[in-house]
Amino acid sequence: MTRTRVVVVGGGYAGTLAANRLRQHPGVDITLVNPRPAFVERIRLHQYVAGTGTATIDYPELLGDGVRLAVDAVTRIDAADRRIRLASGIALRYDYLIYAVGSTGAITPTVSGAAEFAYSISELEHAQRLLARLGEVTADAPVIVVGGGLTGIEAASELAGQGRTVTLVCGEMLGPSLHAAGRRSVAKALRKLGVEVREAATVAEVRPDAVVLADGSTLPSQVTVWTAGFGVPDLARASGLATDALGRLLTDETLTSIDNPWIMAAGDAAAPSGQPLRMSCQAALPLGAQAANTVLARIAGDSPMALDQSFAAQCISVGRNAGTVQLSRRDDTPTKAFIGGRLGAVVKESICKYTVKWIRGEAAKPGSYRWFKGGRAAGIAQRQADQEATV
């Protein structure tokens, strides 16, 4: 039997699940390439920096038998030759490649001092640097978190829950992806933790010991945490593959690269039909499963299925004792319904545990992972209707 070489680039939620799912075919040699020797639970990095939890799991606990882990960084994809170049100097050949490099924090380059003095929380190395900085300052030193999205909310609340003096500078509003009802739930929990929330406030400059707002006011800050915005690695664009403006790999609805039939994409760095899903592990796991399904279909000579998945909620922890689970329609539109308070925290923690459980389950029984469906088509249809209504 001719064996098929599949390389998965990126060992996050999408890549790890995809690698495990590929094991359904006994004739596939699977290599997972990742720059770190351990899996990073990004949804727990805010706990890591606050000292309330860990955020790494050894890959042998997650990967199924037969998946080879290559701890290395990919520097280039040579699509024409079907090989990747690694930082170590090694070149790996593939028959199919799954591009699952994930996302990273994007510090706004136009904000003076942000790159020099602000700390990101988007990757393990960034979180380690932030943790070290927090250890250098006193417990009552003022901390400013920039960005009112879900990452900013979780970082601010986790640090405040450990006694830190925290101000959250939101930009236009707190929790812009939430319904007004869910937003009020989050705001209430933040107040209980003592977080000062600054809405309708943007940062103009970051200094070593302060943050200057656009209105000219200055806020003291011994540690400034930047969570405003995410980007993606530049690997696809630098390799000459078609990407969207952010750098996500452009694919069709089967998650196949629009200019290379041997490359599939999954997770935060995928842009199916130029309409990417919300960056989240909730989207990444099903995307990883479907990218693997596309590869398996092509190996079998079958037509791959079109992308089909939906959202159910946005889950936000607000410290260790409260949370908000913002329920949504299948297309990720938030509804008025939410679960808040202590019960919200319990639900959020359960979901965090299940993300790892699902990956382990796929390692034990490839093809067993299931996900919510029906939202992708509904979302595209609604956007098309909205566009037609404005013509």
Q: So what's the pLDDT on residue 230?
A: 84
Distance of alpha carbon 144 from alpha carbon 225, whole angstroms: 6
Distance of alpha carbon 305 from alpha carbon 285, whole angstroms: 17
- The sheet carrying 203-207 orders its strands as 203-207, 210-213, 218-220
| pLDDT over threshold 90, residue 229 | no
3-state secondary structure of 362: helix
Q: CA–CA distance from 205 to each of 117, 151, 156, 165, 231 (Å)?
A: 10, 21, 20, 20, 21
- Secondary structure of 302-321 as H, E, C letters: CCCCCCCCCCCEEEEECCCC
Q: So what's the pLDDT on residue 391?
A: 46
Q: What is the pLDDT of residues 268-325, one digit of tens each?
A: 999 999 999 999 999 999 999 999 999 999 999 999 999 999 999 999 999 999 999 9
Tell me the domains of the chain and their CATH numbers: 4-103+232-310 (3.50.50.60), 114-226 (3.50.50.60)
Q: What is the pLDDT of residues 40-51, one digit of tens each?
A: 999 999 999 999
pLDDT band at 53 (very low <50, low <70, confident <90, very high): very high
Model pTM? Answer: 0.94
